[in-house]
Amino acid sequence: MADLLSWLFFFLPFMAVAAIAVLAVVGIGVGVVCPRVLAYLYMAIFFAFNSTSYGSLSLFATGGVYSRGSGLLLFPLVLWCVLGAWCCARASAAFAGQAPPACTLRPWFGGWLVLLVLHVGAALASGVKVAAALAPSGFTNIAWMAPPIFLLLLTFRTRAHAIELMRFIMLAGLARALFGLVRWAALGGDPNNVYANRNAIPIKLTFFDINDSLLCCLALTIAVLHLVRPGVGAAPSPRPATAWLALAWCTLLATSLCILLSYRRTAWIGLALAGLVIAWRFPWRRRLQLLALGLPPLALAIGVLLARRFAQSSQQGLNRLVYDMQSRQFGAESERVLELKLALADFLAHPLTGIGAWGRYAGFEHISWQANPDGGLFVHSGVLHIALKAGLPGLVLLAGLAWACMRASRAALAPDPTGVTGVTGDRHARGACLALASAGVAGLAFMLPDILVGTPVPQVRTTQMLAICMALPFIALQAGRTARQPGRGSDTAACRPAAPLPVAVPP
C-alpha cells in the first residue's frame, strides 16, 4: 500500500499536466467550432466565483480562482484562458470568412497596451522586477479588459445570439441572488462579513463582493424590460410566455432584495443610479409612474437598513452614508480622506508619468489598512488610482474609453428614424438589443460609486465584470444591424440558438 501511494504521488504531477493538455486541446476544438461555448464558460466563472476574502475570519483565505497562476505566469490563469478563448473565436471567424466586428474601444485599448509596455521598460531601467510592474496593483487589469470585450463581440453577432445572451444573464442573476438569499436566511450570510467580524456590527450580508450585486443589477434591468410594456404606437407585441413573466418577477424581487441586503453603500447608491437609467428608457409619464412606485419602497428599505448598519454612529440621516469620509472638528483626520490626500499629493508631484505601475504613494504607513506587504499599492478611488499610477496619459486613456462607451450606448438606446427604438430589425430583435444595451448602461451606472470611492482597478473580477458591461451596448448595436439578415454572422447549425423570446420594447 505504501509503495502504491508513493507511485501515485510520483505520477500525480505528470497526470495533472496530461489532463491540462487534454482539456486545452478539447477547449481549442470546441472554441473553433462553437466559440460561444467558451464565452459562456468565461461569464459563468466570473458570475459564480467570489473574488474577495476581505472580512473573513478564515486563516487561509485567498483570492481563489482569480489568483491561480499569477506567480509563474505573471497573470492569473483565468486571464490566459480568456485570451485563448478570444484567439479561438478569432480563428473561428476567420474560417467562416467573417471580419472582426467594428469597435471604437480598440484604439483606446491599444493605447493602454503601449502605456503598459512603456511602464515595464521604465521598471527594467530602474531595476524593478517585471512582475512588480505587471502586478494587479498597477493598471494591467485595464489592458486585460480588451480580450473579453472582443471575445463577446466575436461570438454574439446576431439577433438570436442577443436573445440567448439576455436569457443567460437574467437566469444567472436570479440563480446568484437566490443563492445569496438562501445563505443569508439559513446559513448566516456571506462569511466575508467585515461589519460583523471586524466592526462588531450584528448584521448578516448576502454578498460583500460588489460584483455579485452588479450581476443582480444586470438581471434586474432585463427583468424590468420584460415586465414593463408601454405602448409604442405600432401593433402590440406578443405577450411574453407565462413562465418567463414569472421568472422576470422572481428576478426583480430577488435581485433587488439581494442588493439591499448586501449593506454596501456603493451598492445602494449604484442601485438608485441604475434605477434612473432604467426609468429614462420610458416615456415621461411611465417614467414618473416607475419613480413613484419604486422610489418610496427603495428609500424606506435603505433607511431601515441604514439605521441597522450605522446604529452605533452618532451621525443622523444621510450623513451616516459618509460618516468615515467627513472631517472632524477635533482630533485625527479620517483615514479615508488622509489616504486620498496622500495619493493626490503624489500625483501632483508626478502629473505626467505618475509614480509608476509598481509605485507606492508616500505616507501610506499612516493608514491602518495599509499596514501590510501591499501597503501603498492601491487607493480607494479608481480614478485617482489611475492618475497616481499612470499620470495624465492614463487619465486621457480612461476618458477615451468612457467617451467611446458613452457614444455606443447613446447609439444603441437612441430612437431610430421610425421613432420606435434605437436598432433596426423586427420587434423581437429590438427588444433583445434594448434589454442588453440598457443592462450594460445600468451596470456601468451602478458601478460609478465604486469607481469613484472603491478599489476596482486592482481587482480582476471587477474589471472583467466592467468589461462585460461595456461590451453589451456594442453587442446590441451589432445584433441590431444584422437583425434583418438572421443568417449573417451565425455559427454552425450545431451551435444555433433557440427560438427568440418575446420581450417588451420601450420606446
C-alpha cell at 365: 504607513
Q: How confident is the model at residue 114 (pLDDT cuts 50, 70, 90)?
A: very high
> Nearest-CA neighbor of 165 among 487, 467, 479, 410?
479
Q: Which residue has the cell 416615456?
A: 283
Q: Residue 181, by phi and psi: left (phi above 0), alpha (psi -120 to 50) or beta?
A: alpha
Q: How confident is the model at residue 34 (pLDDT cuts 50, 70, 90)?
A: confident
pLDDT attached to residue 26: 78
Percent over 70 (pLDDT), the chain: 79
Number of other CB atoms surrounding residue 321 within 10 Å: 16
pLDDT attached to residue 257: 93
Phi and psi at 310, nearest 5°, equal: -105, 35
Distance CA 335, CA 325 (A): 8
Q: Residue 499, by phi and psi: left (phi above 0), alpha (psi -120 to 50) or beta?
A: beta
Interval 215-226 mean pLDDT? 93
* Chain-centre distance for alpha carbon 505: 25
To the question of pTM greater than 0.75 for the whole model, the response is: yes
pLDDT in tens, 246-303: 899 999 999 999 999 998 889 999 998 998 888 887 777 777 776 777 777 777 777 7
Q: How confident is the model at residue 238 (pLDDT cuts 50, 70, 90)?
A: very low
Residue 422 in this model has a pLDDT that exceeds 60: no
> Nearest-CA neighbor of 375 among 352, 342, 348, 353?
342
Interval 189-217 mean pLDDT? 87
pLDDT attached to residue 497: 40
pLDDT in tens, 81-108: 999 999 999 999 998 888 888 899 999 9
pLDDT attached to residue 330: 43
pLDDT attached to residue 176: 96
Interval 207-235 mean pLDDT? 78
Spell out the long-range contacts of 315-318 with Cβ–Cβ below 8 A and sequence spacing 24 or more.
Answer: none
Residue 496 in this model has a pLDDT that exceeds 60: no
pLDDT attached to residue 119: 96
- Calculate the dihedral angle through the C-alpha atoms of 153, 158, 162, 167, rounding to the nearest 10 degrees: -120
Task: Compute the half-sphere exposure of residue 130: CA atoms within 13 Å on the CB side of its CA.
Answer: 8
pLDDT in tens, 54-73: 766 665 555 678 888 777 88
88 neighbors 28 (Cβ within 8 angstroms): yes
52 neighbors 209 (Cβ within 8 angstroms): yes
Q: How confident is the model at residue 10 (pLDDT cuts 50, 70, 90)?
A: low
Phi and psi at 269, nearest 5°, equal: -65, -40
Distance CA 421, CA 426 (A): 11
Interval 117-138 mean pLDDT? 93
Please tell me the least confidently modeled range out of 53-67, 363-377, 418-432.
418-432
C-alpha cell at 22: 487534454
Contacts of 482 (CB under 8 A, 6+ apart): 157, 158, 159, 425, 488, 489
Radius of gyration of the chain (CA): 24
Quote the mean pLDDT of the chain.
81
Choose between 125 and 243: higher pLDDT: 125
Q: 221 in helix, strand or coil?
A: helix
209 neighbors 46 (Cβ within 8 angstroms): no
pLDDT attached to residue 27: 76
Residue 434 in this model has a pLDDT that exceeds 90: no
Instruction: Dump the DSSP string for 227-279.
Output: H-----SSSPPPPPPHHHHHHHHHHHHHHHHHHHTT--HHHHHHHHHHHHHHH
pLDDT attached to residue 385: 95
pLDDT attached to residue 406: 94
Distance CA 335, CA 218 (A): 33
C-alpha cell at 301: 428599505
Number of other CB atoms surrounding residue 419 within 10 Å: 10
pLDDT attached to residue 28: 81
pLDDT attached to residue 29: 81
Residue 226 in this model has a pLDDT that exceeds 90: no
pLDDT attached to residue 428: 55
Task: Compute the half-sphere exposure of residue 8: CA atoms within 13 Å on the CB side of its CA.
Answer: 5
Choose between 318 and 116: higher pLDDT: 116
39 neighbors 151 (Cβ within 8 angstroms): yes
Interval 331-344 mean pLDDT? 80
User: CA-CA distances (angstroms) from residue 48 to 159, 179, 352, 480?
Assistant: 26, 10, 39, 29
Residue 492 in this model has a pLDDT that exceeds 60: no
Choose between 440 and 311: higher pLDDT: 440
Distance CA 436, CA 169 (A): 9
Please tell me the least confidently modeled range out of 223-232, 234-243, 361-370.
234-243
Please tell me the least confidently modeled range out of 161-165, 247-251, 393-397, 501-505.
501-505
